[in-house]
Amino acid sequence: MGIWRIEEPEAFFFQKVSLQREITHPNKRLQHLAARWLLQYLFPDFPYDEITIADTRKPFLPGEQYHFSISHTGKYAAAIVSSGQRVGLDIELVSHKIAAISHKFLHDRDIYFMNESNLPDYSYLELLGFMWSAKESLFKWYSLGGIDFKENFQLDGPITETAGGEIQMPFLFKKELPIKLNIKAALFEEISLVLSWVAT
């Protein structure tokens, strides 16, 4: 897993990867290239040119030689790759936009466990950032679409922090059969960036 701060021009990324589809917006194009470049940085033999986009818009490898997930926001790209586990990853810049849409993704159960969490070093807005990013990670992990963020992904206990500063978020995935999942997250305070990931 890695995060890349995008400071290079397109030419830097074009040395290793190419565009797989036409992207006219310069910033979106740079994010696209950086995320795919990062896949090869993490796994040099990653066959990025075989990436296919599913109907749900999730990129995947048809033979599943690797499971992977990518995300980008602002000047940052992130990727996670596994040869044996399904993965989901998301990065988000913490902003008041997340608070404005929180009613669309927070269940009463989420709010209850957020209030039960003893995390005095984090603001409520940062906790919302963790929640939104975690649910995005779960959506990418599931990958089949047809998901309601409020009903299908719900906290299953308080959010905790390890001695090393890693955030642990127990979730219940309620779709066919309930599945318990542990989402891990981190906050890069100096840039207000949340990273969350899941691997099973």
Token readout for 75 is 């000047």
Burial 118-137, CB ≥16 within 10 A → b, else e: eeeebeeebbbbbbbbbbbb
Domain boundaries 2-89, corresponding CATH code: 3.90.470.20
Q: Report pLDDT for 53.
A: 81
Rounded Cα distance between 49 and 20, Å, is: 8
Domain ranges (residues) in the chain: 2-89, 92-187
Query: What mean pLDDT is predicted for residues 27-49?
Result: 90
Rounded Cα distance between 200 and 184, Å, is: 12
**For the segment 107-151, what is each residue's pLDDT rounded down to a tens digit?**
999 999 999 999 999 999 999 999 999 999 999 999 888 899 999
Cβ(149)–Cβ(139) under 8 Å?
yes
Q: Is residue 59 over pLDDT 90?
A: no
186: helix, strand or coil:
strand
Higher pLDDT, 147 or 63: 147
